[in-house]
Amino acid sequence: MTTLFISDLHLEADRPDIGEQFLKFLKTDASEADDLYILGDLFEAWVGDDDPNTHYFTIKRALRKLVDGGIPVYFMHGNRDFMIGGGFANETGVKILKDPCKVSMYGQKVLLSHGDKLCTDDVQYQKIRKMTRDPEWQATMRAKPLKDRLRMAAEARRQSLEQTLNLSMNIMDVNQKAVAEVIRKNNVDVLLHGHTHRPGVHTVDLGNRKAKRIVLGDWYTQGSVVRWDSRGPKLEKIPR
């Protein structure tokens, strides 16, 4: 009996090796699990559920198969695929979660998050995040023709890459104050997130008690997963 957590696969047609590993993961590990949580950035870009991208179609079909096989799959938006909506949920049977989301794992209270919201030192990014998560902004976006959205996404990605390269490593990580705050506010034992691509297990000192922060890794060169069973959570690499 195991629950699996993954994030930051950044699937795209240009990186078929990641897609292949993910499809294999769905057929093997995930098929034997109790349920699967995908904590954001499953896709490198998502301009709308109407995108006829054939690579994404293959992934959607595989998720549908897993769900139909009786394995519940949960998805939380990342900063790349925040435009995933009800169409995707209907096609795949995947349930979309709010960020953050509290779950209980074998008696431990766990807060799930993509993690980008915790990077509060990146003020510019937080402004963009706020704008792009506004339902009105998203509705305006969805109303645009697909080809315009694809062009805009390509442009946004180019800019984001430039900005990432220009920012110091420090600012790209989570802010420790924001971490302690969200753990305290939600009264959890564990915070589990991705986004930073810095896999690890950390102790968070809250003064009166200690909590744990588990960070999932990206899937650029290998898989990264947290397997959680009755013995607790285990962060593991999956060789490609």
Which residues of the shown chain bind Mn ion in the complex (CB under 5 A)?
Answer: 41, 78-79, 195
Distance of alpha carbon 5 from alpha carbon 114, whole angstroms: 11
Which residue's CB comes closest to Mn ion? 195
Of residues 33 and 225, the one with the C-beta less far from Mn ion: 225
Of residues 195 and 213, the one with the C-beta less far from Mn ion: 195
Give least dist CB 69 to Mn ion, A.
Answer: 28
- Strands 200-205 and 210-215: what pairing? antiparallel
Give least dist CB 55 to Mn ion, A.
Answer: 19
Of residues 33 and 118, the one with the C-beta less far from Mn ion: 118
Tell me which H or E stretch contains 70. Answer: none
Of residues 2 and 5, the one with the C-beta less far from Mn ion: 5
Provide the 3-class DSSP secondary structure of residue 232: strand
- Residue 195 tokens read as 């986004």
Give least dist CB 88 to Mn ion, A.
Answer: 17
User: How many CB atoms lie under 10 A from the CB of residue 28?
Assistant: 11
Residues 33, 71 contacting (CB under 8 angstroms): yes
Give least dist CB 31 to Mn ion, A.
Answer: 26
Give least dist CB 185 to Mn ion, A.
Answer: 22
- Strands 223-229 and 3-6: what pairing? antiparallel
Phi-psi region of 238 (alpha: psi -120 to 50; beta: other; left: phi over 0): beta
Of residues 29 and 99, the one with the C-beta less far from Mn ion: 99
Of residues 27 and 157, the one with the C-beta less far from Mn ion: 157
Residue type, 230: S
Nearest residue to 77 (alpha-carbon basis) of 43, 121, 111: 43
Give least dist CB 96 to Mn ion, A.
Answer: 16
- Strands 95-97 and 200-205: what pairing? unpaired
Residues 221, 212 contacting (CB under 8 angstroms): no
